[in-house]
Amino acid sequence: MGGDPADGPVGPVDSSRVPRFAGPATFARLPRLDEVGSADVAVVGVPFDSGVSYRPGARFGGNAIREASRLLRPYNPAQDASPFALAQVADAGDIAANPFHINEAVETVQAAADELLDSGARLMTLGGDHTIALPLLRAVARRHGPVALLHFDAHLDTWDTYFGAEYTHGTPFRRAVEEGVLDTSALSHVGVRGPLYGKRDLDEDERMGFGIVTSADVMRRGVDEVAQQLRERVGDRPLYISIDIDVLDPAHAPGTGTPEAGGLTSRELLEILRGLAGCHLVSADLVEVAPAYDHAEITAVAASHTAYELTTLMARQIAEGRERNG
């Protein structure tokens, strides 16, 4: 495939020539990174789920999202943008991490993320479980300094340990605060709901600097008001967005490891993300898609569209930056 950067980005396979159900299942049928040499946005999978506390299977999430993304098209009318024409987006394949050693896996993911970021790419990472957010945040903070975080999830993920383990899918953001990779003046959970171990969970979370927008807040206040609140909290800081697909109600995302009733609709999630246009989004992840529990690919489809909106936000910002800089 290749291509001269002077000719513009290499986009998806033409679905009028090759049917969507044929050919390699790269994200959105985009070129592989090795086919284009470099990318503005690298879509990378991390098939790792050894940090889960309930149902496993998210190691297969990245490829399920890629398969569902065959139906994505190159023009995004909701954001009035053709993201794959605005910036070079490419599929960087998977980061292979040791499934039997969480600490080693965390180090592997961080090293691979460092390498991709050093190439100049922003990351759109497909998990895997939420453990991977910590090494990704470490890598992004090494490049940008402490970052603002918008964390879309049914759960806080700021607990201390599980069975004595510091690195799990329920602990990444506590570790990130402790390590100083987050800007604690600009942190927010979105979509949190369901039972907790005790009120202390909320008190400790607040002490770390997190604000909370519950799923009920989204329902009562509406997506426009919530997006405005999030934009104000983040400001112009470098922003990382981390999305656990269980932020969606099980009706919209049954294929996940720790489902909770009363979540966002897929429409609400997509509209909030679109409302973040103009924020300085430097990278993102989308995790906890477990296709073994996903009848009719409902979760994978929602996840593919979520990753598409995030990719569009990054591509628009890249293009606008180039236009400003001539």
| Residues facing residue 241 across a β-bridge | 150, 284
* Phi, psi for 17 (deg, rounded to 5): -110, -35
| Residues facing residue 271 across a β-bridge | none
Type of residue found at 287: V
Q: Round to whole Å and give the CA distance between 281 and 308.
A: 14
C-beta separation of 213 from 229 below 8 A: yes
Q: Round to whole Å and give the CA distance between 62 and 86.
A: 24
The answer to whether 153 is annotated as binding is: yes
Type of residue found at 23: G
In 13-165, the DSSP E strands lie at 41-46, 89-94, 122-127, 147-152
Q: Round to whole Å and give the CA distance between 301 and 305.
A: 6
Q: Which of 125, 103, 94 is nearest to 50 (CA)?
A: 103
C-beta separation of 194 from 217 below 8 A: no
- In the three-class reduction of DSSP (H, G, I as helix; E, B as strand; rest coil), residue 11 is classed as coil
The answer to whether 157 is annotated as binding is: yes
Q: Round to whole Å and give the CA distance between 225 and 239.
A: 19
The answer to whether 151 is annotated as binding is: no
Pairing of strands 280-287, 89-94: unpaired
The answer to whether 183 is annotated as binding is: no
| 8-state DSSP, 16 | T
> Which residues belong to the annotated binding site?
130, 153, 155, 157, 244, 246
> Which residues belong to the annotated binding site for Mn(2+)?
130, 153, 155, 157, 244, 246
